[in-house]
Amino acid sequence: MANKGEFVKPKLTEFKTHRLFKFRSYTRLAAILLVLGVIPAIGGGVASVSGASTASGLKLAQEWVAAHSQPPTVASLGFTSSQALTKPPKHEVIDYPIAETGVNQIIGQGIAAAAKVLGWTVKVIPTGATPESVAAAWNQMVADPPNGIITTGNPDSEYATQLTTLVKDHVAIVNGSVPNNQAGQGIVVDAAQSSDYRLRGKYEAEYIIAKSHGHAKVAYYNVPEFPVLLLEQEEALSIFKSQCPACTINVQAVPITAVGTTLPAQVVNYLEGNPTVNWLMMGFGDMDIGVPSALSQAGIASQVKMVSQADGPTNFGYIANNQVQVAAIPEGDSYYGWMMMDALAEHFAGDPIDTALFANLPHYYATASNIKNSSAAWAGPAGFQAMFEKLWKG
């Protein structure tokens, strides 16, 4: 049995993949967007975007980058004394179904730290990466229902039956990083919503426009099976179209299985055949893994600069060591864990929840000039832990 405040976790191995690898059930959406021309076909399909705006687009991009080139402050998170708990937290048991990824481990560390402050117990439930293994994990929680569940990445279609049962058992659920989730059907809060992934696309596009002085030739690698990445892509293409008439962007759609395996070689082949391409934009940080070394071995590392979002220590290392990647857009995964625990704390206290505070995660441009520790992920705005501790004391 777990003790109060204990973080019960399984033995985890070394992971490279992002939690988005848990998405498996949106192929119909991807097919629809393919027909509409929002995404290209996997395996060589290319979409080009050319803008038709004025030179003011470059100025807008430069202003955006300048305004987001330092880590956000705790004040920018929007939490105030009005979010203080009206009742002291009592002991709760929280389950955290987790795909065994590095990112989710960092989120889990944040959840564990918050649980210690709240006096709660957290149990990690490994989900695997298939709909079947996810369903099995949720069946486990149905058999031994906790007081609350925090889940990130899995669309609720993968556990709809279990969700109905858990709701009847009055289990509170916080869901993160799932677009267009059906909030209200047992979901207390949707965290990191669709708007957050559109924001990430804007961050990437604005940076490239600003740093290329409005003359970027971009190869954008993305995995269209992931709905949130399609939202990111849609926003990025819109920004390029409206603000950068001299820019071109070619979308290279790749399958999940290419990430961390064949993708670096694919990038090398594409760049060798398209020597005028000077920027790489990756759908998320783990897609960068192995790319800098592959480009270096091919002798073309100096041809491009690379940007991605949801970045961690590997990406920070590339930036610090001047290995192709020049900017990262981290999401503050430890803060993400604390934030979702706060949603549950407010729920259990019976307090009204301002859902807008949970819609977007904090982001900024991590570059060689502001990365202080390239071996650790950015936890979130400095002082966020103390902020939540104060709110939880009421």
Backbone angles phi, psi at 333, to 5 degrees: -70, -30
Tokens of 180: 């267009």
Tell me which residues of the chain have a pLDDT lower than 70: 1-54, 100-102, 179-185
Task: Give the model's pLDDT for residue 391.
Answer: 97
Q: Please name every residue paired with 124 in a beta bridge, in sequence order, or none if there are none.
A: 96
Quick one: DSSP state of residue 368?
T
Other CB atoms closer than 10 Å to residue 218's CB: what's the count? Answer: 25
Tokens of 250: 């070619």
Q: What is the DSSP code string of 60-101? A: HHHHHHHHTSSPPPGGGG---GGGS-SSPPPP-EEEEEE-S-
- Report d(CA 371, CA 114) in Å as an integer: 25
Task: Give the model's pLDDT for residue 181.
Answer: 56
- pTM for the complete prediction? 0.84
Task: Give the model's pLDDT for residue 221.
Answer: 98
Q: What is the DSSP code string of 305-349? A: EEEEES--HHHHHHHHTTSSEEEEE---HHHHHHHHHHHHHHHHH
Nearest Cα neighbor of 314 from 1, 16, 75 is 16
3-state secondary structure of 41: coil
CATH of domain 7-12+77-193+332-361+382-392: 3.40.50.2300
Q: What's the pLDDT tens digit per position in 277-324?
A: 999 999 999 899 999 999 999 999 999 999 999 998 999 999 999 999
| Residue ranges per structural domain of the chain | 7-12+77-193+332-361+382-392, 40-71+196-329
- Report d(CA 387, CA 362) in Å as an integer: 15
Q: What's the pLDDT tens digit per position in 81-105?
A: 999 999 988 999 999 998 766 678 8
What is the residue type of 280? L
Nearest Cα neighbor of 173 from 7, 340, 359, 331 is 340
Task: Give the model's pLDDT for residue 54.
Answer: 55
On the question of a common fold for 7-12+77-193+332-361+382-392 and 40-71+196-329, the answer reads yes
Quick one: DSSP state of residue 43?
T
* Cβ contact 253:222 at 8 Å: yes
Task: Give the model's pLDDT for residue 30.
Answer: 45
Task: Give the model's pLDDT for residue 256.
Answer: 76
Cα separation values, 137 from 11, 144, 151, 190, Å: 16, 11, 11, 20
Quick one: DSSP state of residue 22?
G
Task: Give the model's pLDDT for residue 131.
Answer: 82
Of the candidate CATH numbers 3.40.50.970, 3.40.50.2300, 3.90.550.10, 3.50.50.60, the domain formed by 40-71+196-329 belongs to 3.40.50.2300
Q: Where are the beta strands (DSSP E) in 141-278?
A: 148-152, 172-176, 187-191, 217-222, 248-253
Backbone angles phi, psi at 87, to 5 degrees: -135, 140
Q: To the nearest 10°, the Cα dihedral for 127, 129, 135, 138?
A: 20
Tokens of 32: 């629809």
Quick one: DSSP state of residue 214?
T
